[in-house]
Amino acid sequence: MTNPLTVTMSRSTLPAVGGEGIVGITVTAPVRRSKAQSRMPCNIAVALDVSSSMRGAKITHGKAAAQKIVARLESQDYCAVVTFSHESAVLMPSAAMTESGRAALIAEIEKTEARGSTALYDGWRDAVACIEHATNGAPAIQRVFLLTDGEANTGPSNPEYIAPLVAIAQQRGISTSTFGLGEGYNEQLLGMMASAGEGNTYFIADADNIDTYFGQELNQLYTTTVRNAQLSITLPESVACTVVGNRNHSRCENRIDIPLGAMLSGESRQLILYLSSTANLTDGVYAIAVGLAGVDEQSAPFLATCHVPLIVAPQSDIIAEDLERRAALIDKAAIVADALALHQKRDYAGALALIAERKQAFPFYARFGVYDEELVRFRGRIQRHSMKRMRMHSNDMVNSSPATLEKYRTMLRILRKKGGPAEEIVLLEEQILALEEKYNLQ
């Protein structure tokens, strides 16, 4: 098999004094050997909001979608369903999805009724616990599906508190995907949970589309060829590094570890690093060591490595300007997510100031004009509905993959079918074109 790691430098050298540059690391998962080959087993838990705001069509479609998920699972899979309102309740602990197991869980889901407030964190926490207790450490793709239509108003609700806990679960191999239904949910919280959990986040405008997104998520899990993937980068001393977009990562001295979770057959993801030289760096040839570890389809350890030379010299030429422009777009997306949080709190001046300060602090990115266009956008009048779209797009720019492209295509089909707002359709079309170009998919 060819090496799944490709490293691209944006500049020919890194000057020892005041040097800046971008490193792009592309990770490609192995292609599934054959459709007939047995897939990885799934160990999932559905955390379903059954608070009073879900009454009517929302709970009807939410229950139906959960039942369809269960019906699609096979005997090697495990599934649990947790409901949450004013408190969390394990509707049924994780069980093997044999014929009788599926029938029992579908029957339990049907009994669910909507009532009470929204203990969102408790529902997620209990879903994670169900997954952990399911298979006694047997290998499986592990993910929580969290669906809610409202704010977390019972128990912990601060994204800054919850997101690190989601990241810890991801480090134990349990990813999280979030589904926000309608206008009332906390898009900042769900976006941060999905980002920390190396999953996907969805904005579902209409309840009758829940099954479409649930089904798409399950189909992605079925085509996974690497789970618990983690990228490790070891840099030379005296080289400072920032993970562009501030995506989930950890550091130990000059090593950076970035969890990638599960990866689909043939999926490629690009991680971008911003490098800068420090005062102690001298001219010469150094090395950047990159490693990818995980577990493959046969539950065997998966490991790939490569070493890339880093030349430190006085003169430097730009050899991949498109990579630097992409880094600027991702950095913009990350700061826009923070600005949107201020905007939602009606701190319009604070949102504008945050973007303007970023523009001044990072001329390396600002030369592409990415902050100027956002300042213009924030000065305009933005509907609350569009704010959710913008936040989701910002999150996806930071953590995009070919799966994100399919998500947007699904959303576009639904919007066109429903006759959605023209400006939202145009925004999705633009995002799809950008992702098609990024992943060379037409």
Tokens 């004009």: give the residue. Answer: 369
Q: Could you tell me the domains of the chain?
A: 5-28+227-317 (2.60.40.1510), 42-222 (3.40.50.410), 322-439 (no CATH)
Task: Write down the pLDDT at residue 230.
Answer: 92
Q: Measured in whole angstroms, how far is the alpha carbon of residue 83 from the centre of its chain?
A: 23
Beta bridge partners of 162: none
The tally of CA atoms less than 13 A away on the side-chain side of residue 403 is 27
Question: Can you spell out the DSSP letters for 232-286?
Answer: EEE--TTEEEEETT--S-EEETTEEEEEEEEEETT-EEEEEEEEEE-TT--SEEE
DSSP sequence for 125-181: HHHHHHHHTTSTT---EEEEEEEESS---SS---HHHHHHHHHHHHHTTEEEEEEEE
CA distance 217 to 196: 17
pLDDT at residue 292, rounded to an integer: 94
Residue 156 amino acid letter: P
Give the model's pLDDT for residue 341: 77
The 3-state DSSP class for residue 397 equals helix
Mean pLDDT per 10-residue segment, the chain (442 residues): 87 90 93 71 93 90 91 92 93 92 93 90 95 78 92 88 91 90 84 88 86 88 88 92 87 91 87 88 92 87 92 91 93 85 78 91 93 82 55 65 77 77 74 75 59
Give the contacts of 158 (CB within 8 A, at least 6 positions apart): none
Q: pLDDT value at position 363?
A: 93
Sheet holding 301-312, edge to edge: 250-252, 255-264, 224-234, 284-296, 301-312
Q: Give the residue among 268, 232, 235 at the shortest CA–CA distance from 401.
A: 268
State which H helix or E strand residue 442 sits in.
none
Residue 388, pLDDT score: 62
CA–CA distance, 271 with 161 (Å, rounded to integer) = 25
Q: What are the residue ranges of helices labelled H in 256-383? A: 321-344, 348-361, 363-366, 370-379
pLDDT on residue 391? 64
Q: Which residues contact 300 (CB under 8 A, 6 or more apart)?
A: none
